[in-house]
Amino acid sequence: MQRIAPNSRLLYRINQGVAEQLCRGLWERIISRDKTVTCKAREEYQRLLRQRLEREARHAAIEFALIAKQAASYLEYLSDKRGALMKEIAAKCDLWPVNLGLRVKVVKGEPVREITRLAFARNYLIKLELNSQCDFPSAPGSGSPFRLAAGELYTKMLMLKDVYFPKLTPWAKRLFALTVPMTKRNSQDWWKVAKIYLYERWHKAQEEFKPLIKHIGFAYPIQLSSKVPYESIVKSRVIDNDLKDAFLGLARHDL
């Protein structure tokens, strides 16, 4: 690997093997004693390499899409042939892959895009009893950052309940005592344990809260003020108000 000067305009370090793959004889021109030849060869290397990376990314995306589509089709096939097994698996999942389509339909002379297989998807997921026994929260989609953070927090706590603690701390004891899943009835108990964890993370790794701090309109890093306990106000707004509301919103209705 040849080093490129710090002030170079080139984006990638030049590799001899890659250079020869891109264009036979390119490496010889790159190491030429003629500075004009070397400069043009290096620019050619960067241009060809960018083109190659773009082609590879496009090819990978196409292949990945085809694999995902085929995998979803195989799951549909298995659901027909091994219904009981697939139902058992799907019940513990909050999401499930389904192939959907899009077609253009002319309505009153105007093209309208219509999603295909929606009815199939609905009946398919109902038949699988998707998410009927899943302890983890359902994916919130494009909800607020607080909704996303609350889902991650709840998932983290569920995972910690299965972790072995060499030394069982008072906090861990309270965590293990929580019943799963979190419902409206026990949600306050869950939040009390979660709040302790969040306060600890706030003091140890406040950067983890950066997206939430900026979302509510405060600057990051937090600017302290001698007149106002600025950080405590932000902390209370982030954790005690918005994140608490989002976390409790994940609780299921008691059956």
pTM as predicted: 0.56
pLDDT tens, position by position, 48-91: 988 888 888 888 999 999 999 999 999 999 999 999 999 999 99
Whether residue 6 has pLDDT greater than 50? no
Q: What integer pLDDT is reported at residue 5 of this predicted model?
A: 41
Using CA atoms, how far apart are residues 38 and 248, in angstroms rounded to an integer?
63
pLDDT tens, position by position, 130-152: 988 877 666 555 568 999 899 89
pLDDT tens, position by position, 26-42: 899 988 999 999 999 99
Residues 6+ apart with CB under 8 A from 14: 1, 2, 4, 30, 42, 45
Residue ranges per domain, the chain? 16-66, 82-128, 145-248
Tokens of 217: 């309109």
Of residues 15 and 194, more confidence is placed in 194
